[in-house]
Structure 1
Amino acid sequence: MGFNYKKSITFRLAQAAKAHRARSGIHLARIGMHPGQEAVLKTLADTDGLTMSELAATLGVQPPTVTKMITRMSGQRLVRRQAAEHDGRLAQVCLTDEGRARVELIDRCWKRLEREALAGLEDKDRKRLRKLLRVVERNLAASFFEDPTLDDEIDAEDLAAGGDDEAAEAASLGAASAAEVRAADKAARAKTAGKRVAAGKRAGKKGLDPKPAGKISEPAA
């Protein structure tokens, strides 16, 4: 009997991601935006004036993808390009007043989408789900350089979770077994990170750049 992929966790994860993108597309369309554009505006709201290459690296996409998106968003007067002060050959991307106003609308969309997606889940289940998704994200990351702080964030959430999670884990595995599992997991993480760092150094010596893992795609205008 073949593998029933529809019962796999990864299939459900993919279906959830597909539904999330479709739903977010509906909310973004109401404010005149396409999926992917909100990530650009939120990134610039945090750090305005990034160069095209810096923006591509932060978003984890290929530079041509960013160029296409910025061209469209410039036409929508959400962002503007200007020559960098330190190097006139580089173009910096800055938010316009309209772009900053749109960021507030994006926040409302995300909050609404969060409520819709997590309806019926208790707070402790939401925290647990967020932690587990970070682990999946780390496991599937194509490059250690995509998000080197991910492990630290997971560890920080472990500490913030406090005694409830510890008690539950100890009850199911036993205190000693739980400690062994965590130690083994941390050792495996360190080993994987070491291999990725070494691979990155080898790539650097050969003059290669680590490729971003994903793309932000946009629907045709």
Structure 2
Amino acid sequence: MICQKCHTPNIEEAIRCASCGIALKIITVRSVKPEPSFFIRWLKAFIGNILRPKGLKLWVIIGCTLIFLVPALIGTFFAFIAKPYLLEQHTASSSSKNTASVPHDLNLIEQSRHDLTAIKSEIAGYYAIHHRYPRSLSELKNKPWQNDQISMNGKGYLITDIQGSQPMTMIFVPFLNQHKQLVWDCYLSGFDSSLADTGCVEMSQIQDIPIKGVSIYKN
């Protein structure tokens, strides 16, 4: 017999427990239920703590935090993984677009070069007559160019804006070399020189143009 109070084994004929003296009930060894395992007892205690007011409040706070935090972490993770791919796709798309617009841009650049070259010839003819260089395009009698965007600044630079796939600027810079001869350099901004050869020096701003020779107004 197993004592129902202290669980002490007794002989089957015993009426009272030999350990605690309580009257024994007829409970055989086989009918005694084993004690629950540590995990079962821990799980019951854990669930009991959750269902308590303080425990429930804590888990509500944790749950709300996870609801907002987990999606943000997942989104950041996928953005970190997808960023190189998206950047590569954007670069490929931009490169393809730029390549497709190159012929059109080159045609506009060549037309602007043709107009500026015509002005160069007019300036050379003006110097042959007046022995000085004009300070504005209005001093030239002939205007064989059709581009209204062409202008001349105070240094004698011929400047024209080109409206291609993106804004471009072409500048013809005059200077006198060591033999007092008029020389022109071509500069171009807004076009990637790695895509095609324009015959002009690539620049970012007009301030980047180096000073060469002597100014045409200081001879």
Question: If the length of structure 1 is used for normalisation, what is the TM-score?
Answer: 0.21
Larger relative contact order (Cα-Cα within 8 Å, sequence gap ≥ 6): 1
Q: Kindly indicate which of the two structures has a greater share of residues assigned to strand.
A: 2
Q: Kindly indicate which of the two structures has a greater share of residues assigned to helix.
A: 1
Kindly name which structure, 1 or 2, has the bigger radius of gyration based on alpha carbons. 2
Question: If the length of structure 2 is used for normalisation, what is the TM-score?
Answer: 0.21
